[in-house]
Amino acid sequence: METQNIVQMLISGRNDLEWFNSNLSSLISRFNNQFIAFKDESVLDSDSDLNNLMTKLKQKGIDTSNILIRFVSKIKSIL
């Protein structure tokens, strides 16, 4: 993979994480207790089960190596 492509992927991922953090409250309202897959500031799909989400994304032909997936919940988790 070319350096330019890697840099672009890193920038895109950072932008998506910033979007996710900026929109977390509205995402929680819409997708509480679900995993969400997102890229380019857009939710691609969601499911309460990660395996089901991965299956749905693959059925849609989405390359899961280039997206971000996060679990959203009103309940804050302590790790």
In the predicted model, is pLDDT for residue 21 greater than 70? yes
Is it the case that residue 78 has pLDDT exceeding 70? no
* pLDDT at residue 2, as a whole number: 83
Query: What pLDDT does 43 receive?
Result: 97
Residue 1 is predicted with a pLDDT of: 61
Q: What mean pLDDT comes out for the span 39-64?
A: 96
pLDDT of residue 11: 82
Report the number of secondary-structure helices (H) and strands (E) in the chain.
Answer: 3, 3
Q: Residue 38 in 3-state DSSP?
A: strand
Residue 39 to residue 16: CA distance in whole angstroms? 6
